[in-house]
Amino acid sequence: MSVPRSEYLSTVWKDGIFANRVLFITGGAGSIGSAQTRAMVHLGADACIIGRSVEKTENAAKEIAKVRNGARVIGIGNVDVRSYDSLKAAADRCVKELGSIDYVVAGAAGNFIAPIAGLSPNAFKAVIDIDTIGTFNTIKATMPYLVESAARNPNPNDGGTTGGRFVSTSATFHYTGMPLQSHVSAAKAAIDALMGSVALEYGPFGVTANSIAPGAIEGTEGMERLASSKLDPKMRTKGVPIGRWGSVRDIADATVYVFSDAGNYINGTTLVVDGAGWRRQGAA
Ligand code: HXC
């Protein structure tokens, strides 16, 4: 059964706004990543989904392609973002098969709950490697294509561009500190810092680079790992001022916004999509 639009995209966006453009996304078969990809494909983009598991990645690509007649969505499995060479080969294949890379989401991430006392140096490094080094590798592998996209897509209205957009996936833990998440907090803080440098180095080429920081998002592998879905619903939303957990659609809509013409002047920043949850993070 196909996924209803209301689960991955609000009704405010116009069909076709991403026609003839290509999204390259790591972690695109995951819960948030597949919603981001569905939203972009629904609005006209073709997409290349990158993941470790061949089966999961190829199946996700097939499912997501169903959102729009004629959509081209390819799944490239067997790619670990910790390996620059495998990512570079995937980016090259994406351009060969789909023609370009215009938008990138660095969504691959690793997480588990562990106190510092229970984290081996290798466990800490595993998350830094997947999140931070993986994002750097994604930048390295795709940035030449994003520069080309920006050059091909000048914006006649403002003298800028409408292509060449990079979004990384952050979190809010490092704003306050978060017990049991030292590895993820450090990894995501580094990603935010990295986006600032990318924005400064590549802004002059018309490429933008931003982070999206999701809060507690319902139904994701991350939240399954961090908070049991069996918790009393009232307890689960306690602490989020807006009174609910986020949905994958909230993150997909934010991604569409940053990639769309409405987001052309957003560069080098973090868009927090968390209902202001981080402002009460850790409070009783
Ligand atoms: C302590 C742990 C551990 C745990 C693994 N390790 N799990 N230590 N507590 N629960 C340790 C291992 O013992 C090992 O250290 C080291 O971490 C690496 O483990 P491996 O299994 O060899 O690594 P690998 O196969 O590469 O797996 C990486 C992983 C795994 C991060 C550990 O969980 C993974 O692949 N995750 C990908 C999917 C995922 O996590 N998705 C959720 C993303 S959500 P030693 O010393 O024994 O060698 C997300 C949300 C962010 O990121 C926040 C949102 C609000």
The protein residue with its alpha carbon nearest to ligand 1, atom 19, reads 123
Q: Specify the long-range contacts of residues 84-88, CB closer than 8 Å, at least 24 apart.
A: 84/137, 84/140, 84/141, 87/26, 87/50, 87/137, 87/138, 87/140, 87/141, 88/140, 88/141
Q: Which residue ranges in the chain fall short of pLDDT 70?
A: 228-236, 282-284
For 151-197, the DSSP string reads: HH-B-TTTSSBS--EEEEE--SHHHH--TT-HHHHHHHHHHHHHHHH
The protein residue with its alpha carbon nearest to ligand 1, atom 23, reads 126
Query: So what's the pLDDT on residue 222?
Result: 77
Centre of ligand 1 to C-alpha 266, Å, is 32
Sheet with 22-26, side-by-side order of all strands: 73-76, 46-50, 22-26, 103-106, 165-169, 208-214, 270-273
Q: Which atom of ligand 1 is nearest to the CA of 82?
A: 26
pLDDT tens sequence across 151-192: 999 999 999 999 999 999 999 999 999 999 999 999 999 999
CB-side neighbour CA atoms (13 Å) of 91: 25
Three-state DSSP at 75 gives strand
Evaluate: CB of 149 within 6 angstroms of ligand 1.
no
Query: So what's the pLDDT on residue 192?
Result: 98
Integer-rounded Cα Rg, in Å, for the chain is 18
Query: So what's the pLDDT on residue 284?
Result: 47
What gap in Å lies between CA 160 and CA 16, rounded to an integer?
21
Query: So what's the pLDDT on residue 237?
Result: 76
For CA atoms 21, 74, 143, 129, the dihedral sign is: positive
Query: So what's the pLDDT on residue 238?
Result: 75
Evaluate: CB of 126 within 6 angstroms of ligand 1.
yes
Cβ-based neighbour number of residue 6 at 10 Å: 10
Centre of ligand 1 to C-alpha 126, Å, is 7
Query: So what's the pLDDT on residue 16?
Result: 98
Give CA 36 to chain center in angstroms: 7
